[in-house]
Structure 1
Amino acid sequence: MKSNRSVLSAHRSWGVSAAIAACLGCAPSLAQQSPPQGESSPAALGLEEIVVTAQKREEKLNRVPISISALSESHLEQIGAKDLAGFAREIPGLSVQAATNGGAPSIVIRGISSAAGDATVGVYIDDTPVQAVKSSFSADPTPKLFDIERVEVLRGPQGTLYGASSEGGTVRFITPKPSLTNFTARARTEFSSTEDGEPSYEIGAAAGGPVAEQLGLRGSVYYRTDGGYVDRVSRVDGAVIDEDANSSESLAARLAANYSPSDNLEILPSIYYQRIRNDHLPLTYSTSGPLQVADTTATPGEDRFVLPGLTINYDFGSAQFTSVSSYFDRRNDQRFDYSTITGDLLFGTAIVPGFEDYRSVGDTRTTQENFTQEFRLSSPNDSGPFGYTVGVFYQHAQTDFQQSVAEPELEGLVQTLTGAPLEAVLGMGLLPGGLTYLQTSATTVEQVAAFGEASYELTSQLKLTVGARVAQVDVESEFYADGLYNGGPTAPELLGVQRASETPINPKLTLSYQITDDDLMYATASRGFRAGGPNTPVPVGRCGADLAAQGTSAAQLRSFDSDSVWNYELGAKTLLLDGRLSLNGSVFYIDWSDIQQALALPTCGFGYVANLGNATSKGFDLAIQYQLIDGLTLGVTAGYTDATLDEDIYAGADPITGARALIARKGDQTLLTPEWSGNVALNYQREFANGVQGYARADLQRSSAFYRTTSEGTTSYDADLYRGPAYSFGTLRIGMIRDGLNVSVFVDNISNEQPVLFATYAQNPSSRMFQQQTTLRPRTIGISAAYDF
Structure 2
Amino acid sequence: MAILRLALIVVAAWTFSALAGSHAFAAPNRISLADALQALARRGHLSILFRPETVSGITAEQPGKSVSPEAGLEAMLRGTGLRAKRIAPRSFVIERVEQGKAESIGHASTIEVERAVYPSPPSSIVVTALRRPTLLLDTPVSMVVLGGDEWRRFAGRTNADVVKLAPSLAISSPGSGLDRMSLRGVFSAGEPSVGLYYGNVPVLGPSGSSSDPGLMTPNLLLVDVERIEVLRGPQGTLYGAGSLAGTMRVLFRQPELDANSGSVDASVSLVEGGGTGFDASTVVNMVVAPDSAALRAVAYRRREAGFVDNVPLRKSDIGTRDDVGARLSLMWEPEVDWFLSLEGAYQETDFDDFGSSSGDLGTYRTGREVRLPFSSRFWMVSGIVRGALGRADMELSASRYRWVPRRSLDFTRVLEDLRGDQHACAGYFGRLPEIGCSTGELADFGNYLDSVTPAVLDQPLRVTGTSAELRVSGSGKLDWTTGLFFNRRIDSGESSAHRVDGEGMIDGETPAQSLRRFSGALRQFAAFGDLTWHVTDLLDITAGGRYFRYRRYASGESLWRNPATELYGSDAPVSYGYSTRGTAGRIRLDFHPGADWLIYGEVAQGFRPGGVNIIPGLPSEAAVYRGDRIVSRELGSRLSLARDAVQISGALFRQTWSDMEVSAITNNGAFAIISNLGNARIDGFELGLDARAGEHFEARVQTTYLDARLTSNQLSEIAQATGRRGDRLPYVAPLIVSSVLTGRWNLDESMRLTVGLYGHYTGRHYSRSDRGDIRAMRLGGGGSIDLRASLELAGQSLSVGVSNLTGSHERVWAADTVFAPRTVTRIQPRTVSVGLSSRF
Matched, 1:436 2:513: yes
1:584 to 649, 669, 677: 649
State the AA in 1 paired with 2:472: L
Cα distance 1:222–1:516, how it changes in 2: closer, same or farther (>3 A)? farther
SS in 2 for 1:556: helix
Given that 1:405 and 1:438 are in contact with CA atoms closer than 8 Å, whether structure 2 keeps it comes out as: yes
In structure 2, the residue matched to 1:777 is 828
Question: What does residue range 669-748 of structure 1 map to in structure 2 within 5 Å?
Answer: 669-711=728-770, 717-719=772-774, 721-748=776-803
- Report the alpha carbon displacement of residue 764 of structure 1 after superposing the two structures with TM: 9.9
Q: Which has the larger radius of gyration?
A: 2
Q: Which has the higher contact order (CA 8 A, sep 6+)?
A: 1
C-alpha distance in structure 1 between counterparts of 2:229 and 2:739, whole Å = 21
CA distance in structure 1 between the aligned counterparts of 2:311 and 2:448, rounded to whole angstroms: 17
In the TM superposition, what are the counterparts of 1:480-519 in structure 2 within 5 Å? 480-481=557-558, 482-487=561-566, 491=570, 495-519=573-597
Q: Distance in 2 between matches of 1:250 and 1:474?
A: 35
Q: C-alpha displacement at 1:192, in angstroms?
A: 0.9
The 1:358/1:260 distance shift into structure 2, 3 A limit, reads same
Hey, what does 1:54 align to over in structure 2?
129
Cα RMSD (Å) of the superposition? 3.0
Shift of 1:499: 0.7
- Alpha-carbon distance in 2 for matches of 1:384, 1:174: 27
C-alpha contact (below 8 Å) 1:480/1:489 kept by paired residues = no
Structure 1 residue matching 2:415: 3-state secondary structure? helix
TM-score (norm 1): 0.82
Q: Does 1:532 align with 2:610?
A: yes
Matching of residue 77 in structure 1 with residue 142 in structure 2:
no
C-alpha distance 629-180 of structure 1, shift in aligned 2 (>3 A): closer
Corresponding residue for residue 471 of structure 2: 376
Supply the distance in 1 between the matched residues of 2:449 and 2:659 (Cα, whole angstroms). Answer: 48
Change (3 A) 1:784 1:721: same
Q: What does residue range 267-278 of structure 1 map to in structure 2 within 5 Å? A: 267-278=340-351
| Residue 166 (structure 1) aligns with | 243
Conservation of the 8 A alpha-carbon contact between 1:103 and 1:282: no
> Are residues 181 and 764 of structure 1, via their aligned partners in 2, closer, same or farther at CA, if it must alter by over 3 Å?
closer
Deviation of residue 575 (structure 1)? 1.2
1:95 aligns with 2:174: no
Give, in angstroms, the shift of residue 636 of structure 1.
2.6
Residue 691 of structure 2: aligned partner = 626
Among candidates 532, 542, 551, match of residue 455 of structure 1: 532
**Kept after mapping to 2: 8 A contact 1:518/1:574:** yes
2:513 partner SS: strand
Q: Deviations over 1:133-158 (max 9, x none)?
A: 57399511132111121111111111
CA contact (8 A) 1:345 1:764 kept: no
Cα distance in 2 for residues equivalent to 1:243 and 1:754 = 18
Match of 2:396 in 1: 323
Indicate if the aligned counterparts of 2:142 and 2:232 stay in contact, CA closer than 8 A: yes
Q: Using a 3 Å threshold, how does the CA distance of structure 1 residues 389 and 718 change in structure 2: closer, same or farther?
A: same
For residue 571 of structure 1, report the CA deviation from its aligned partner.
1.0
1:7 aligns to what?
none
SS at match of 1:78: helix
Q: By how many angstroms is 1:87 displaced?
A: 1.9
**Residue in 2 aligned with 1:600?**
665
Matched residue, 1:407: 499
CA distance in 1, matches of 2:531, 2:320: 50
* C-alpha distance in 2 between matches for 1:393 and 1:289: 50
1:610/1:362 CA distance change after superposition, 3 Å: closer
- Map 1:235-246 to 2 at 5 A: 241-246=314-319
* Residue equivalent to 1:22: none
Letter in 2 for 1:785: L
Q: For residues 329 and 592 of structure 2, what CA distance do their matches in structure 1 show?
A: 37
2:206 paired with 1:151 = no
Corresponding residue for 2:724? 665
Task: Give 1:679 deviation, angstroms.
Answer: 2.5
Change (3 A) 1:209 1:513: farther
Q: Which stretch has the larger CA shift, 287-296 or 355-364?
A: 355-364
Letter in 2 for 1:183: N
Query: Is 1:202 matched up with 2:294?
Result: no
Choose the corresponding residue for 1:180, options 232, 240, 257: 257
Q: Secondary structure at the match of 2:540?
A: strand
Q: Determine helix, strand or coil for the equivalent of 1:624.
A: strand
Deviations 1:685-726 (A, max 9, x none): 1111242111211122222111112226xxxx5336343351
Determine helix, strand or coil for the equivalent of 1:161. Answer: coil
Aligned to 1:754: 809
- Alignment partners' CA distance in 2, 1:137 and 1:538: 22
CA contact (8 A) 1:301 1:333 kept: yes
1:220 and 2:275 matched? no
Shift of 1:105: 2.6
With over 3 angstroms needed to count, the CA separation of the structure-2 counterparts of 1:136 and 1:370, relative to structure 1, is closer
| Superposed structure 1 runs of 4+ greater than 4 Å apart | 41-46, 351-358, 430-433
Name the count of aligned residue pairs.
692
* Contact 2:491/2:519, CA 8 A, preserved across alignment: yes
Contact 2:410 2:456 in 1 (8 A): yes
Aligned to 1:392: 484
Contact 1:756–1:773 (CA<8 Å) still a contact in 2? yes
- Residues in 1 aligned to 2:449 and 2:583: alpha-carbon distance in whole angstroms: 59
Match of 2:40 in 1: none
5+ residue gaps, structure 2 = 1-93, 97-117, 422-442
Q: Distance in 2 between matches of 1:190 and 1:533?
A: 44
Aligned CA distance change for structure 1 residues 474 and 432 (closer, same or farther; 3 Å): farther
Q: Residue by residue, what CA displacement relative to the aligned partner does 1:335-391 show, whole Å, maximum 9, x if unpaired?
A: 234334332323699x99997995423211221111111111111xxx321121111
Q: Identity across aligned pairs (percent)?
A: 23
- CA deviation string 1:722-769 (max 9, x = no partner): 43351111111122222122322111111211133333346399xxxx
Counterpart residue type for residue 528 of structure 2: F
Change (3 A) 1:195 1:299: same
The corresponding residue for 1:65 is 140
Q: 1:3 — aligned with what?
A: none
Other-structure match for 1:657 = none
Q: What secondary structure is seen at the aligned counterpart in 2 of 1:751?
A: coil
User: 8 Å contact 1:297–1:361 — kept in the other structure?
Assistant: yes
CA distance in 2, matches of 1:431, 1:562: 41
Q: Which blocks of at least 5 consecutive residues in structure 1 are unaligned?
A: 1-40, 235-239, 411-429, 541-553, 654-659
Say whether residues 1:611 and 2:676 are aligned partners. yes
Among 108, 117, 123, the alignment partner of 2:196 is 123
Distance in 2 between residues matched to 1:265 and 1:785, nearest whole Å: 38
Secondary structure of the residue that 2:715 maps to in structure 1? strand
Alpha carbons 1:282, 1:774 under 8 Å: kept: yes
- Asked if 2 retains the 8 angstrom alpha-carbon contact of 1:538 and 1:606, the reply is no
Separation (CA, whole Å) in 1 of partners of 2:251 and 2:569: 44
Q: Does the CA contact (< 8 Å) of 2:191 and 2:214 recur in 1?
A: no
Distance of 1:675 and 1:535 partners within structure 2: 32
Pick the aligned partner of 1:339 from 395, 399, 412. Answer: 412
- Counterpart of 1:244 in 2: which secondary structure? strand
Matched AA of 2:752: Q
**C-alpha separation in 2, matches of 1:748 and 1:784:** 14
Kept in 1, the 8 Å contact 2:411–2:819? The answer is: no
Q: Is the 8 A contact 1:45 1:580 kept in 2?
A: no
Counterpart code for 2:328: L
The equivalences for 1:563-574 within 5 A come to: 563-574=628-639
Letter of the 2:736 partner, please give it.
S
Matching residue's letter, 2:807:
N
2:10 equivalent in structure 1: none
- Give, in angstroms, the shift of residue 109 of structure 1: 0.7
Q: Deviations over 1:208-253 (max 9, x none)?
A: 142124321111101101111112232xxxxx63221221111121
